[in-house]
Amino acid sequence: MVMTVLRGASVALRPTVQDYRHAGIDIFLDPTVHGRGLGADAIRTLACHLIDTHGYHRPVIDPAADNAAMIRCCTKVGFRPVGIMREYERGPDSTWHDGLLMDLLANELVR
C-alpha cells in the first residue's frame, strides 16, 4: 500500500494482483478544506497516475453510501456506481453503515 499525506488530506492506494490491473483508492479530506475542489483533483491525479504510469485498467473507490460530497467528487472524475455494500463499515457510533462501490475503466477517465 502507498500512503501519501498532504496538508489536510491523505490518499492511499491498495494495489491488487498485477494480472488483473485493478487498484483501490482511499482518500480523506479534513473538513476544513472541503468545498475547494481538492477531492476531485486528488482522485483525478491518482487515477491518472494509476492508469497512465502503471497501466491499471480499473481503479475502484468505496465511499460511504451517504457521503454525497465524495460521491460527487468521484463522479466528476468518471467513476460510476457499481453497487451498495451493505453494512460495510462501522461509524464512530459503532453502528454499521453501507458503502457504495464505484469503479472507473481506463477509457472513462474524465481528465
Q: Tell me the CB-side half-sphere exposure of residue 69, using CA atoms within 13 A.
A: 12
Identify the pLDDT of residue 1. Answer: 47
Residue 13, amino acid: L
Query: Angle of helix 68-77 relative to helix 38-48, nearest 10 degrees?
Result: 40
- C-alpha distances in Å from residue 78, one per residue of 7, 19, 74: 25, 23, 7
What is the value of pTM for the model shown? 0.82
Q: Which of 9-13, 34-38, 79-83, 107-111 has the lowest mean pLDDT?
A: 9-13
Residue 70 host element (H or E): helix 68-77
Q: Indicate whether 45 pLDDT > 80.
A: yes
Range of the domain at 27: 2-108
Identify the pLDDT of residue 32. Answer: 87
When divided into structural domains, the chain yields a total of: 1
CATH of the domain at 98: 3.40.630.30
4-24: average pLDDT: 60
Burial 20-54 (b: 16+ CB within 10 A, else e): ebbbebebebeeeeeeeebbbebbbebbeebbeee
98-110: average pLDDT: 97
Identify the pLDDT of residue 104. Answer: 97
d(CA 40, CA 29): 11
